[in-house]
Amino acid sequence: MPAECFKGPSLQVFEFMADCIKDFLTYDNLDKCGRLPLGFTFSFPSTKKSLTDVELIIWTKTFKCTDGPGMNVGQTLEDCLKRKNIPVDLVAIISDVTAALVAGHYLDKQSCIGLILGTGCNVCYIENVKSIDKWQSEPDKSKKVIINIEWGGLSDTGCLSFIQNEFDYEVDKLSNHVNSFTYEKMFSGLYLGELVRQVLADLTKKKILFKGEGSDKLFTPWSWDSSKVSDIERDKDGSDENTKKALDSFDLGGVTSKRDLVLTQFVCSFMSQRGAYVLSAGLAAVVDRINQPEVTIAVDGSLYEQHPKYHDYMLSVIHTLSPQSKTNIVLVKDSSVQGCAFAAAIVE
């Protein structure tokens, strides 16, 4: 997506998506097949009134558009499609986390929690309709409903301030959305690399790492992404090959010692475990809410998929905090596509 879409008028985002749909139809020779149903995965906090009547609450993560809150997502996309004469009909809009759960349920019928753990983080789960006071549908039509928790901002009110530290607060100040989405900033993919960089820079300033010298890149915000943390966590049994490669990106000029490598590995391991524990405590609460003998969490996202230890960290905490349920975690790759396609097919 062009850079201007991330910080310009929201309409540019939908115009770009419409162009992508048109290119896809042309490339696969589908533009002559008549009108096709379209499912749309929209991964931002929204108010949902119907399958296609969705109102954006706020842009998140790397998006900082000049407008958008309050806009009708479905109508905006449909208008773009119509202007470009694209032969598709929008039939369903769902969130990425709902798509993960829908796709996961196809693979494992015990799937009742959906989790996105990538750039950001969100969770949804299957709830009994009778437990929802404001539910307006006829009670005999639906006994279950998917609840999108949108828990990225869980601690925006300060309820988790007792586990935040100076690095959390600094990352928040540097982010696009200050004082918002506090929970996911403690562990999600967009922020984990910066949290680790903050710690490494602090230890360098205190002359504990890299002979106190560091480099311009080490002290530059957002110069390290979470993939470096995942790479370092792959080093096993005293090896440090991945750690050396990851630290090379800081241009430290050969000041790295064996002790520096070990300490860097410790920081990455500690921050990864800390993030997984904070995340999994929330998941355990959802498992308790569902209260079933067996629960499967359907997860998608780059951090979960690429980090070699996150799965084990998460299961350890969930099993400890929610021992009454047998909890499994399954990766559902490309769930945003699969789950949305299932949703569109069901509507049809």
Instruction: Indicate the residue among 69, 94, 119 that finishes a domain.
Output: 94
Q: Say how far apart CA 16 and CA 157 lie, in whole Å.
A: 35
| 339, part of any domain | no
What is the per-residue pLDDT for 243? Answer: 97
How do residues 263-320 score in pLDDT, each as one tens digit?
A: 999 999 999 999 999 999 999 999 999 999 999 999 999 999 999 999 999 999 999 9
Residue 245 has pLDDT above 80, yes or no: yes
- Paired strand residues for 92: 39
Instruction: Indicate the residue among 45, 74, 94 that finishes a domain.
Output: 94
Q: Going by C-beta distance under 8 Å and a sequence separation of 6 or more, which residues neighbour residue 346?
A: 92
Residues 276 and 291 in one domain: yes
Q: What is the band of 28 on the pLDDT scale with cuts at 50, 70, 90?
A: confident
Residues 83 and 110 in one domain: no
Q: What is the band of 211 on the pLDDT scale with cuts at 50, 70, 90?
A: very high
Residues 39 and 72 in one domain: yes
How do residues 212-225 score in pLDDT, each as one tens digit?
A: 999 999 999 999 99
3-class SS of residue 93: strand
How do residues 115-172 score in pLDDT, each as one tens digit?
A: 999 999 999 999 998 888 776 666 557 788 899 999 988 888 999 999 999 999 999 9
Q: What is the pTM of this model?
A: 0.89
Residues 76 and 217 in one domain: no
Over range 315-328, report the average pLDDT. 97
Share of the chain above pLDDT 70, in %: 98
Q: Specify the DSSP class assigned to residue 167.
A: H
Q: What is the mean pLDDT of the chain?
A: 92
How do residues 102-126 score in pLDDT, each as one tens digit?
A: 999 999 999 999 999 999 999 999 9
CA neighbours closer than 13 Å in the CB half-sphere of residue 145 = 19
Helix 335-347 vs helix 96-107: angle between axes, to the nearest 10 degrees? 80
Residue span of the structural domain in which 301 resides? 96-333
